[in-house]
A and B are shown apart, each in its own frame.
Chain A
Amino acid sequence: MRNGPGLFSASWALLRKDLAIELRTRESVPAMALFSVTVFVLLHFGTGRDTFSGGLAAGLLWVTLLLATVLGVNRLFVAEREQGGIDAVLLAPVDRTAVFIGKAAALFLYLVLLEVVAVPAFALLLLAQGSAVAVLPLAGVLLLTDIGLAAVGALVAAMASETRARDLVVPMLLLPLVVPLAIAGASATEPLLGAAGSAPELLRWLGFIGVYDMVFLLLSVAVFDFLLED
């Protein structure tokens, strides 16, 4: 056993480091939020419609969020790669799993911040006036999905960080992998955006998202070490 700090204090330190960088440079989250608002404007002009509702609205919201996630995932290992931070991280006597947890937690927080901006902006810009959005269930769906997105995103970011065509590999790798989340998220969100309010199948979808989160969290923890060897 290495006698370094424990798993959680190491993850916490790495997370704090990422948040400090993000607070000072303000690179990822503002870009993701701005991107999503720009996509909403594009959607308005691209379709010539003022409002969306039902399944279409849910689908557009989710596609936008996932595309914005790609931006965050692209930047996730940028300090490690461009400024040689990865060597420092690897030299530290901590479990490699801590790197994964730190990165996934950072991405999770970025996604929550993105949604705090993007979802109200979506409701304001593209939902019909006065449509009753079920805020609490929607927040639950978003948070649960963010866990899975953060796990897959951190894994993909690490996988792509050593490739030459990183900017191309991330979207091609991430988007197919999160299709199940897009299906479940959009299906669960659809009734929450309309007048219907409650969703009979909400629990089933939340259950599926939960299973997805579990599988990819465990899988990522299991394989992440191999991405950071040497």
Chain B
Amino acid sequence: MIKHRIKTDLDVEQIRLDFPILKREVHPGVSLIYLDSTATTQKPTQVIQAMDDYYRSYNSNVHRGVHTLAEEATAAYESARQRVANFIHAPSAREIIFTRNTTESINLIAFTWGRTYLQEDDLVILTEMEHHSNLVPWQILAAEKGIQLEFIPITTDGILELDVYRKLLEQMPKLVSFTQMSNVLGTINPAKEIVQMAHQAGAITIIDGAQSVPHFSVDVQDLDVDFLAFSAHKICGPTGLGVLFGKINLLNDMPPFLGGGEMIKRVLLRSFTPNEVPHKFEAGTPAIAESIGLHSALDYVDQVGMDKIAAHEQKMISYALERLEEVPGVHVIGPAAKHKGGVAAFTFDGIHPHDVAQVLDRSGIAVRAGHHCAMPLHEKYNIPATTRASFYLYNTLDEVDRLIEGLYTVKEFFG
């Protein structure tokens, strides 16, 4: 094994023992190098066991049963809600709504708050680096209600142009919705400053925390943000579960989202009274096992330490950028390591990202290729697609070396 001159803050070898999938071979004799955590993270045994335990020993629907299993399942589901509140420092568990994913969380805001409070010609400010999940819901609303969309531009280095943002704020927007960390550029945006500026202009704020919450400590009270969305599966938890945090006063004044069971207080044949927050927004049987999995995942990353995870990823990305620079024809997009998280999206002269990813897979290296649900961003850089390697707490510097070796193989293959 190559000895690296830099050390990271985590005992990664110990952490890797918790992730059974990292032991598998993807082809005979070829072990997995998983560099796709921005798309979804792997799950530790603790999370898998917590969900398995629910199904084996207290599987039940929540909230309307009085039998022991129902009480246990309800307690576990509501305790997961409290755990999420603690994790992002929300003042109350009532401000935590479980959804399907980040996308549904943002759609929930657009379809309830947006439809109620945004009128024709009202301005919504987004950024040029948004994921489609924070673009399309507002485009739908623009088509439906005639709201106006403006975008904070980015520099060629992938940094938001806050001077332009300041100018845009003079138009008194109703809403500013932005990603805290880009899933392509890796840029970590100055969220607190953006929120503060928006509030001074009288706007409501939304943070897309899909990439930030899993990778560094996020405190909604310190940020003073009005809404924050993230997904369980990007923080060592299961798929099918998302979180929406909202300030209680806003949530109370929003109409319900989906209609059905649990979201009601009273139902007559022709009318209904909505339930209280957060149940008002949780129609139907929720993702119970998944909430238990998320609870366990948050325990897991907290035990490792969010600050240590962030420091580890900072060292990983610094090393990865340094090594990627060595490979002729590789161009990483986005800012310098100090402004970004563990994401390196790059082009390779003359070779399509799908071909890069396909050849890397032969060496067991899992990277993502495409537009990563950020087509406008790729258009801005005038490139159709990128190859993206991303890192999490279980990745090693050796894996970066393997990636670099793999890229030389790609070059030979197509060169």
Binding between chains A and B: no
Q: Which residues of chain A have a CB within 8 Å of any CB of chain B?
A: none
